[in-house]
Amino acid sequence: MQILNIILAVLLILLAIALIVFVLFQTGGRSNKLSQAISGGSPDNYSGKNKQRSKDKKLAKITTVLAIVFAIVVIVFALIMNYQHNHSTTADTTEEVTESDTTTEADATTAAEEVTTTAEEVTTEAEATTEAEAA
């Protein structure tokens, strides 16, 4: 899963850079027309105007597609991270429970051995006392 996280993170970075570049390549609409009119850079013929429009349309379509892909990748990345977070929390809780159960079992075994040893000592003392009283 770590490899998938790295791949998605790199993909997000590349998509973000591409999205920024394509937005910057687009002409600015009215403000761009005004600056071209002042500087004299506006094409006056029909084919020049259509080239600019078709270029803007292509850039707009590419930008739209990039934005949609970027949004989908962000959602997928968020879902994967949420899934990993939920399962890692469950795994940590399971490990803690297993460790505490093992510790409890070891403590119970040690306690049982101590009780058995103490019972044997009491029985030995009781037998010794009984033999001493009988003699």
Tens of each residue's pLDDT in the chain, 135 residues: 789 889 999 999 999 999 999 999 887 665 555 555 555 555 555 555 666 678 888 999 999 999 999 999 999 999 999 998 888 866 555 555 555 555 566 666 676 677 677 667 766 666 666 666 665
Q: Tell me the whole-structure pTM to 2 decimals.
A: 0.51
The answer to whether the CB of 71 falls within 8 A of the CB of 16 is: no
Query: How far is the C-alpha of 74 from the C-alpha of 9, rounded, in Å?
Result: 9
Nearest alpha-carbon partner for 48 in 38, 36, 60 = 36
Per the structure, the count of domains in the chain is 1
CA distances from 63 to 26, 38, 44 (A): 9, 28, 27
Q: What is the pLDDT of residue 63?
A: 94
Q: What is the pLDDT of residue 21?
A: 92
Q: Tokens 């080239």 sit at which residue? A: 51
Residue range of the domain that includes 56: 2-134
Do you know the residue count of the chain? 135
